């Protein structure tokens, strides 16, 4: 019963996230020809040539990515992502019919980019917390991160965004639009980080539990590494194992949930990691 309650809560959160994301896209971004990377930016660019709602175009852009994702990524994550993309499609197209937009003409483009990026970031952050994605570049980032863990996810995401923003510049022919897209992406990333874990790129988790073996197996099954440390309690002088995991933004909520669902009484210490070097993070040899 508890499992079904968790699934329902995730779906409800994903639906809320999709609604917030769609409002950001419609009210501030697409209505002012700002293409902030990802599938959303690609859909906004396509809307210049195809007379279809931006929401529907977001779905069209995502279809091949969803197919690839279902083949290469976890089925549960992709089912939530499909649900998220479908809702974003519906909510964005409905918003175009009934909700007014912010007019950035007259030099108000910066305000549109800031608020648009922040609202979209809020939606994406809530989506990540439910262990889904909003589709688009997130799917490609997860795939690349899975098979090439030596590349930083942030760099991959940025490269994909730059590609879409560059195409937007070619289509719209407006350098100001490129700068506004960069501003939107910047504020989007800040809000996502704040929602997920307070703005830090990586976190260090120390996990103390009587179910360490089960937790470790589940974390490994989720394609995430960890280290087992030996320790001794100072009071009872008992030998015990401690799990240590360095996690990125896209993994933090998943690892925390694994621990919570396996052993609700577990003791977990989470701290900021200013720099993590090695497999799955930045290459050690790249640092001076």
* Region 254-261 average pLDDT: 89
Rounded CA-CA distance 36/162 in Å is 9
The rounded distance, in Å, linking the Cα atoms of 172 and 148 is 34
Under 8 Å CB-to-CB from 217, ≥6 apart: which residues? none
In the predicted structure, residue 158 carries a pLDDT above the cut 80:
no
The encoded tokens of residue 280 equal 């799955």
Q: Who has greater pLDDT, 43 or 162? A: 43
Can you tell me the mean pLDDT for 232-255? 79
What CA–CA distances, in Å, run from 123 to 27, 70, 172?
Answer: 14, 22, 26
- pLDDT given at position 1: 56
Predicted confidence at residue 82, as pLDDT, reads: 94
Per-residue pLDDT tens digits for 164-177 = 888 888 888 878 88
| Mean pLDDT across 262-281 | 78
Average pLDDT on 23-29 reads 95
Quote the CA–CA distance of 192 and 198 in Å, as a whole number.
9
In the numeric block, which tokens belong to residue 173? 């022919």
- Looking at residue 248, what is its pLDDT? 74
What is the structure's pLDDT at 199? Answer: 46
- Which residues make Cβ contacts (< 8 Å) with residue 67, sequence separation at least 6? none
62-66, 162-166, 283-287: segment of lowest average pLDDT? 283-287
How far apart are alpha carbons 95 and 97 in whole angstroms?
A: 5
What local confidence, expressed as pLDDT, does residue 275 receive? 63
- Domain ranges (residues) in the chain: 2-197, 202-286
CATH topology classification for 202-286: Alpha-Beta Plaits (3.30.70)
**pLDDT value of position 279:** 65
Overall average pLDDT of the 230-252 stretch: 79
Q: Is the pLDDT of residue 67 over 50?
A: yes
Residue predicted with more confidence, 275 or 236: 236
Q: What is the pLDDT of residue 263?
A: 93
Average pLDDT, the chain: 84
Distances (CA, A) of 81 to 69, 88, 194: 9, 10, 21
pLDDT at 63: 95
Q: For residue 284, name the pLDDT band (cuts at 50, 70, 90).
A: low
pLDDT digits (tens, 9 = 90+) for 191-214: 887 786 554 467 788 999 989 999
Residue 7 has pLDDT above 60, yes or no: yes
> How far apart, in whole angstroms, are the C-alpha atoms of residue 29 and residue 37?
11
Average the pLDDT over each of 44-48, 117-121, 168-172, 277-281 and give the range with the smallest value. 277-281
What DSSP string runs through the chain? -HHHHHHHHHHHHHHHHHHHHHHHIIIIIGGGT---SHHHHHHHHHTTTS-S-HHHHHHHHHHHHHHHHHHHS-HHHHHHHHHHHHHHHHHHHHHHHHS-----TTT-HHHHHHHHHHHHHHHHHHHHHTT---STHHHHHHHHHHH-TTS-HHHHHHHHHHHHHHHHHHHH--HHHHHHHHHHHHHHHHHHHHHHHTT-SEEEEEEE-TTHHHHHHHHHHTT---EEEEEE-TTT--EEEEEEEEEEHHHHHHHHHHHHHH-TT-EEEEEE-S--BSTTSB-GGG--
């Amino acid at each position: 019963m508890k499992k079904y309650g968790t699934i329902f809560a995730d779906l409800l959160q994903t639906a809320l996230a999709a609604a917030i994301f769609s409002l950001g896209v419609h009210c501030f971004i697409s209505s002012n020809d700002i293409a902030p990377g990802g599938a959303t930016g690609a859909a906004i660019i396509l809307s210049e040539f195809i007379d279809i709602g931006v929401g529907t175009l977001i779905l069209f852009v995502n279809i091949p990515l969803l197919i690839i994702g279902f083949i290469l990524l976890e089925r549960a994550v992709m089912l939530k992502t499909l649900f998220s993309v479908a809702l974003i499609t519906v909510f964005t197209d409905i918003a175009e019919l009934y909700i007014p937009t912010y007019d950035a003409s007259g030099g108000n483009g910066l305000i549109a980019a800031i608020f648009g990026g922040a609202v979209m970031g809020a939606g994406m952050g809530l989506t990540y917390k439910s262990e889904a994605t909003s589709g688009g570049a997130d799917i490609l980032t997860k795939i690349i991160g899975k098979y090439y863990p030596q590349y930083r996810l942030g760099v991959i995401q940025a490269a994909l965004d730059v590609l879409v923003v560059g195409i937007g510049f070619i289509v719209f022919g407006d350098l100001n639009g490129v700068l506004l897209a960069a501003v939107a992406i910047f504020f989007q990333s800040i809000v996502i980080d704040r929602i997920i874990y307070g703005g830090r790129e990586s976190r260090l988790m120390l996990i103390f539990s009587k179910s360490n073996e089960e937790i470790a197996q589940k974390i490994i099954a989720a394609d995430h590494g960890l280290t087992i440390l030996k320790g001794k309690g100072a009071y009872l002088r008992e030998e015990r194992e401690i799990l240590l995991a360095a996690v990125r933004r896209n993994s933090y909520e998943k690892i925390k949930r694994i621990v919570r669902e396996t052993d609700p009484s577990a003791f977990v210490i989470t701290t900021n990691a200013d720099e993590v070097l090695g497999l799955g993070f930045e290459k050690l040899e790249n640092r001076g």
